Amino acid sequence: MTDLIPRLRNERYREAREKIWRRLGDALVRRAQQVLRDLPNTCGNGEEAAVSAFMRFTEKARAGELKEWPTDGKSLKTLLLRAARDRARDMKRQSLKVKDREWGQADLEQVAVRGDVDANLIEEELIEFLRANLPEKEFEAGMLRAADTPYSEIAAIQGVGERTVERRLASVRNCLERYLQDLRDAE
């Protein structure tokens, strides 16, 4: 693999890129999938993240723009795994931000499809469902977020990092989706 590294900068670029992908592609996909494992595939998948990271890395290598140039096969693998992980994290954060913008009122509006029931009763039922199906800290994070509390403030209130808040809110969203699916199934 070490002999492929210099080829990333010359006319044998495509050949080197293909050989490196064949050797490391599965590991890069697995790394990205680890990061994205708790998100639905509609938010992006491990292969998409790995390919994107790999292409970005090799394009930067070709242009001589890498911050850290690999010296051997092991360092190349380490850099590529890090790139795949970072790209998957970016996709995850982006997905959570998009979901976060949709979170809250839009979910309650979906619940309000049942025109025969008062929206306040549905909201109370939803809160009880969340309370019964979520651990205390996740429920608390969900209620804070529903009140438009920013991630950073939720993290400070709960004494955790923002990534922990993201994971907790992902669990709340999954629980909300189950609740909404149960309502749809009942109709």
Please report the pLDDT score of residue 61 as a whole number.
83
pLDDT in tens, 8-56: 777 778 888 888 888 888 988 888 888 777 665 545 577 888 888 888 8
* Residue 117 CA: distances (Å) to CA of 109, 123, 127, 180: 13, 10, 16, 15
Q: How confident is the model at residue 82 (pLDDT cuts 50, 70, 90)?
A: confident
CATH class of 103-186: mainly alpha
Q: Show me where the domains of the chain are located.
A: 2-95, 103-186
Written in H, E and C, the secondary structure of 146-187 is HCCCCHHHHHHHHCCCHHHHHHHHHHHHHHHHHHHHHHHHHC
Q: CB under 8 Å to 159, separation ≥6 — which residues?
A: none
What pLDDT, in 10s, does the model give residues 150-181?
Answer: 888 888 888 888 888 888 888 888 888 877 77
Buried b (16+ CB within 10 A) or exposed e, 149-158: bebeebbeeb
Confidence (pTM): 0.51
Work out the end-to-end distance of the chain between its first and last CA atoms, rounded to an integer number of angstroms. 58
